[in-house]
Amino acid sequence: MGKELRINTFQMCAPVHNWAGLWRLPGDRAVDYNRLDYWTDMAQTAERGLLDAIFIADVFGVYDVYGASPEAALRAGAQIPNMDPVVPVSAMAHVTHNIGFGITANLSFEHPFQLARRFSTLDHLTQGRIGWNIVTGYLESGARGMGRVLQTKHDARYDVAEDFMAAIYKLWEDSWEDGAVRRDAARGVFTDPSMVHAVHHDGPHFKVDAIHLSEPSPQRTPVLFQAGTSDRGRRFAARHAECVFLNGPSQKIVSGTVGKLRDAAVAEGRGPDDLTLFLGGNVIIAPTRREAQELHAEYTRHLDAAGQLALVSGWTGMDLSTLAPEDVVPFARSNAIQSTLENMTAKAPKPVLARDLVALTATGARAPFFVGTASDVADQMLDWADATGIDGFNLARLSVPATLNSIVDQLVPELQERGRFKTAYREGTLREKLGSPRKVRRAPRP
């Protein structure tokens, strides 16, 4: 029997996440993304299914690469409008007890002193169920919104990230000693000042000379997720990540990425299994195969082609409005998500056409598509997991709440029946529930 799968539901605070147009499906609730009960209902459903975490994507900027305009993205609701993913989490935590929250936050436009307090606050309020998905951003529109002429170059963004991490580890781990907070009413001492220390960081990009504003939270450092799988992104993940989110349309591509990530972890003095690897995936589950195929066809009818190409143009940094449907997608270096463009061009087993990017397939999804009964989907997912060496999946939403409901009510029981999914949560923090070998984080060697 193979190892238990880990499963996150992959969400976003926007009417469209990965699939433009599907908010128009009959009965879909994606239009309610800005209502609090949308998020609390989701959290309770995900916890009922014993999912590991609600992984919330975010993007800073608007998708305006396609046709050099945001028009297609705006019309389709393609990740715009979007809300700050941090805000709904405390309410979601209030109605749950065990499920974790992986929150995407872009460090390129933050300061360690600010972000450290924000995540410490969430870790307190969730009683240690917070993870941070570390991203450096890729949209030029976000850089312009922050007053910059251009986005920092891809590899240079990771240099900034290294300095950011060096500073924020010090704030989370070194500023407050264990036991510094006394809460001693009789003596009138809330905190022992001798056990609190200012952090001094003088890096090439960030400077900090301050006491961390939060007392130590249950995890101190949140569980660290990372989603970059370019050469530079892998090196960063090998040093910092506990969980890595990756995409890939074929088992060959994913297996290669998994091997490189685990080798990179070893090169950093860690174990190959110190990284928990989540593969993006899409599921369409129904009581019969025919019904699942009918759902797949219905979803396909509701796709917004221009909105979808606006998303892919933003991910790749390539204006796909210049291509006809039968044109081959060319490879070109960009300042966006390098691994996405490589997977659909240089690493693809055959030429990818522009029309292939507007389809509910592994190519269009940048990740596998699993369609069928719960038994069929379980077979497919387990085949991918066993063949590639991943630890689990980030399962993207297609229809809200239908996708999550089908995972919880159909897929999870099937996996449990096979002994491949947990039947109860572990005790402890998110880090402990995930079985991370790092109980306390310290800044890694320079």
Please report the pLDDT score of residue 446 as a whole number: 37
What distances in angstroms separate CA 434 from CA 4, 130, 279, 290, 307, one per listed residue? Answer: 11, 12, 16, 36, 36
Please report the pLDDT score of residue 400 as a whole number: 97
| Contact between residue 282 and residue 365 where contact means Cβ atoms under 8 Å apart | yes
Q: Compute φ and ψ for 244, nearest 5 degrees.
A: -125, 130
Q: Compute φ and ψ for 202, nearest 5 degrees.
A: -125, 80
Cα separation, 366 vs 374, whole angstroms? 22
Cα separation, 316 vs 139, whole angstroms? 10
Please report the pLDDT score of residue 444 as a whole number: 44
Under DSSP, is residue 152 helix (H, G, I), strand (E, B) or coil?
A: coil
Beta-bridge partner residues of 396: 10
| Contact between residue 58 and residue 136 where contact means Cβ atoms under 8 Å apart | no
Q: How many C-beta atoms surround the C-beta of residue 299 within 10 A?
A: 21
| Contact between residue 139 and residue 60 where contact means Cβ atoms under 8 Å apart | yes
How far the first Cα of the chain sits from its last, in Å, is 40
Please report the pLDDT score of residue 436 as a whole number: 81
Cα separation, 390 vs 310, whole angstroms? 29
Show the domains of the chain with their CATH numbers: 6-434 (3.20.20.30)
Please report the pLDDT score of residue 341 as a whole number: 66
What distances in angstroms separate CA 103 from CA 90, 96, 106, 332, 385, one per listed residue? Answer: 12, 16, 10, 30, 24
Q: Enter the pTM of the model.
A: 0.94
C-alpha torsion angle, residues 345, 350, 352, 358 (rounded to 10): -120
Token pair, residue 66, equals: 């396609």
In the chain, which stretches have pLDDT less than 70?
149, 332-341, 343-349, 438-446
> HSE on the CB side for 285, CA within 13 Å?
27
What distances in angstroms separate CA 207 from CA 153, 169, 328, one per listed residue? Answer: 21, 13, 47
> Which helix (H) or strand (E) covers residue 123, if one does?
helix 112-125
**Beta strands of 92-178 (E only): which ranges?**
100-106, 130-135
Give residue-wise pLDDT tens across range 116-128. Answer: 999 999 999 999 9
Give residue-wise pLDDT tens across range 16-59. Answer: 999 999 999 999 999 999 999 999 999 999 999 999 999 999 99
Please report the pLDDT score of residue 225 as a whole number: 96
Give residue-wise pLDDT tens across range 166-181. Answer: 999 999 999 999 999 9
Cα separation, 344 vs 320, whole angstroms? 13
